Structure 1
C-alpha cells in the first residue's frame, strides 16, 4: 500500500518535543560551565539587538555577580574575546565538539538553543541584577537583557535558599551549608 512509506504528523510532533527537551537541557550545562569559570557569578547576561534587522540572535554581554556587579565583560563585536577559564574535563567533554573556553562556542550553543525556541528558553534578567543604565534604558522602551542563571553559591536548587537571602540564585552561602560569618 502507498501509505506504508509515509510518516504520521505525530512523528514530527514527537521529534519537536525531543529537540525542545534537548535545548532546555543545554541551559543548565551553560550555567554550570560559567559557574565553574566564574565561581562568584550569578548570571550570564545576554542581549539582543535594539533594532530587529532580521538577525535577532542573542549576544554575549557579561557575567554578573548576585547583586548585578560585572565580573567579566565581553566586547560588543566579539572580535577580541579572550579565552574563558578552564573547566573540569568532565564538563569539557559534555561540550564536545565545542570548547567551553571559547566565547564564540559558548555563544554558538546558546544561539542554537535560542533558534529552537526563540523567546522561550532564555528568560529576561531580573530587575535586581540590572544596572541603573539598563533600568533607564528599559524605561524608555529599550530591550531588557536576558540572563542565564548560574548555580547558587550553596549548590542547592533555586528556591531552596529563600530562608537565607530571598534571592534566586542566592548571592550568599546558606547558613546550613557553611557557618555564617557576621
Structure 2
C-alpha cells in the first residue's frame, strides 16, 4: 500500500470552490480557504476500513507538525467497499479527534487519475509503511472479519473496531 501526499498552499480558486460546500458540511474545520497560508499534507483513499497502515503514514506528517487533509473518495458501497463514505469519514474523524490531531476529513468525488503540474511548488512524497507496520491489505482485513477470525483486530485501531463491526453487521453488502 502506498499513499501519496502533497503539501499544498490552499487558495480560494474556482476549482476549489466546488469542494467547499461539501467541506463545510462534513468537517469540523469549516471552509478550508479561511487560512490560505496553512499548508496541508493531502491523503486520498477509500479507507475500507481505516487501518494501522493508513494511520502510520498520516502520522508521519502530523508528527512533523504538518496538518493532514484526508480526502475520502465518494464511492458506492459494494463487496470491496462495504462502508459508506459517511461511515468511513466518521471512523477517521473519531480516531483523530480522540488524539487531538490536526486533521480535516473531506469527501471528494471518485477520481479517474491524479494529475499535477511539474515545478509548481508541490512536494510529492511516496511513503512505505515502517517495518513494524508492514504491508496491510484492507481486503485481507475484510476477509478476516467475514471468516470471524480476530486477526484483523491487530490491524485496526481499537477505538474504531466497534464501528467496523457494527457497520458491517448493519450493511446489506455481502463480503
TM, length-normalised to structure 2 = 0.26
Say which structure is richer in strand. 2
Q: Which has the higher contact order (CA 8 A, sep 6+)?
A: 2
TM, length-normalised to structure 1 = 0.25
When Rg is computed on C-alpha atoms for both structures, the one with the higher figure is: 1
